[in-house]
């Protein structure tokens, strides 16, 4: 009888844990690649990303695809769980060659309507520390439920 | 009515016009001085505390944005941190770059710029 009661209790607990809570409904996760394109080598860069509309929160920051920007860029930890973030990184020893590079990846938690992402290049510099012209884009990957 | 009061006052003054020995006079003045001094020290302590707080504020206040504009282009961004990092690596230690006012120009000053420019505050 005790075993039967215990089995029933365990089944109830598992069922309760697997039932989606109302607050989790419609929640999905998205990965956003930050891509920098320039005709000059890049030794320093800074961008600002904001989300507009929907319920979107930044939950993680990852580095880029290749050195020297493969470590997570500098950001304010307070930006996590918010919809705005400033990313910045530099390396005095190496630079990214001219071209198109993924310099960072953001992980976001979305809920409700699909938010829009805006990105602004604050600064990009070459190995001499001179400001260079560059474009920055966000490349959203398909969300995962 | 007024005349009667004046007369009373004159009488009282006449009675109190007993000569006070100089040593008692000196003691009274001394006690009054001590009382005044006791009243003054909290004011002096408050003044010293305010002076110390002001000195601390100026010694450790965050570097103004103007100081962080290392490359003098009118804005503070990652290029200022980059320029300062290269200067630190080259051993250049201009006192104006001691942004955290710890008496040294080093990586901590570069970190200070980076922290400030990504801050959402």
CATH number of the domain to which A87 belongs = 2.60.40.680
Q: Assess if residue A14 is contained within a domain.
A: no
Evaluated on CA atoms A73, A76, A81, A82, the torsion sign reads negative
In Å, what is the CA distance from B90 to each residue of A41, B71, B85, B94, B111? 21, 16, 9, 12, 17
Instruction: Tell me whether residue A110 is in a domain.
Output: yes
pLDDT for residue B116 is more than 60: yes
- Predicted local confidence at residue B21, as pLDDT: 80
d(Cα A118, Cα A49) in Å, to the nearest integer? Answer: 6
Of A82, A85, A123, the CB nearest to B79: A123
Note whether residue A85 is domain-resident.
Answer: yes
Bigger pLDDT: A85 vs B25: A85
Domain hosting residue A60, numbered range: 25-126+134-140
pLDDT band for position B94 (cuts 50, 70, 90): confident
Query: What fold does the segment set B64-118 form as a domain?
Result: Type 1 dockerin domain (1.10.1330)
Intra-chain end-to-end CA distance of chain A, in Å: 41
Q: Is residue A7 part of a domain?
A: no
Q: pLDDT grade, residue A141 (50/70/90)?
A: confident
Shortest Cα distance, chain A CAs vs residue B104, angstroms:
20
Predicted pLDDT at B23 = 87
Tell me what pLDDT residue A32 has: 92
Calculate the average pLDDT of chain A. Answer: 85
Residue A79 and residue B120: Cβ atoms within 8 Å? yes
Q: Are residues A129 and B83, on separate chains, in Cβ contact within 8 Å? A: yes
* Environment class of A8 (CB within 10 Å of its CB; exposed 0-12, middle 13-18, buried 19+): exposed
Assess if residue A20 is contained within a domain.
no
Mean pLDDT across A40-65? 92
Residue A59 belongs to a domain: yes
Q: How many independent structural domains does chain A possess?
A: 1
In a domain? residue A12: no
| Predicted pLDDT of residue B117 | 93
The answer to whether residue A9 is domain-embedded is no
- Pick from A24-28, B58-62, B112-116: least confident: B58-62
Q: What is the pLDDT of residues A97-139, one digit of tens each?
A: 999 999 999 999 988 888 889 999 999 999 999 999 999 999 8
Q: Do A82 and B81 touch (CB under 8 A)?
A: no
Judge residue A131's burial from the number of C-beta atoms within 10 Å of its C-beta, 0-12 exposed, 13-18 middle, 19 or more buried: middle
Query: Structural domain boundaries of chain B?
Result: 20-60, 64-118
Select the residue of A78, A85, A129 nearest B86 (Cβ to Cβ): A129
Of the candidates A43, A78, A87, the beta carbon closest to that of B82 is on A43
By CA distance, what is B119's nearest residue in A? A76
Q: Does A106 touch chain B (CB under 8 A)?
A: no
Cβ distance A125 to B73 less than 8 Å, yes or no, reads: no
Count interface pairs A-B at CB distance under 8 A: 60
* Interval B29-80: pLDDT, tens: 899 888 888 878 888 888 888 888 877 766 555 556 677 889 999 999 999 9
pLDDT score at B78: 96
Give the tokens for residue B40: 């003054």
Phi/psi at A57 (nearest 5 deg)?
-130, 140
| Chosen from A57, A80, A92, A134 to mutate, greatest number of chain B CBs within 10 A | A92
Residues in chain A: 145
């Amino acid at each position: 009888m005790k075993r039967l009661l215990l089995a029933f209790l365990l089944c109830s607990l598992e069922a309760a844990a697997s039932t989606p809570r109302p607050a989790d409904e419609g929640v999905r996760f998205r990965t956003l690649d930050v891509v920098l394109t320039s005709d000059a080598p890049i030794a320093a860069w800074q961008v600002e990303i904001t989300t507009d509309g929907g319920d979107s929160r930044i939950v993680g920051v990852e580095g880029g695809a290749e050195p020297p920007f493969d470590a997570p860029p500098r950001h304010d930890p307070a930006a996590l769980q918010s919809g705005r973030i400033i990313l910045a990184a530099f390396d005095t020893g190496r630079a990214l060659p001219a071209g198109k590079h993924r310099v960072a990846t953001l992980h976001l938690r979305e809920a409700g309507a699909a938010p829009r992402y805006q990105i602004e290049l604050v600064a990009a510099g070459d190995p001499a520390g001179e400001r260079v012209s560059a474009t920055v884009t966000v490349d959203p990957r398909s969300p995962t439920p | 009515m007024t005349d009667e009061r004046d007369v009373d006052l004159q009488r009282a003054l006449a009675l109190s016009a007993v000569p006070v020995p100089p040593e008692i006079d000196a003691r009274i003045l001394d006690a009054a001085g001590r009382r005044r001094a006791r009243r003054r020290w909290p004011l002096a302590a408050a003044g010293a505390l305010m002076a110390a707080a002001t000195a601390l504020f100026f010694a450790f206040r965050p570097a103004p944005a103007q100081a962080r504009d290392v490359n003098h282009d009118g804005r503070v961004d990652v290029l200022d941190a980059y320029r300062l990092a290269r200067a630190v690596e080259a051993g250049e230690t201009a006192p104006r770059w001691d942004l955290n006012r710890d008496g040294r120009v080093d990586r901590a000053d570069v970190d200070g710029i980076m922290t400030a420019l990504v801050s959402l505050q």
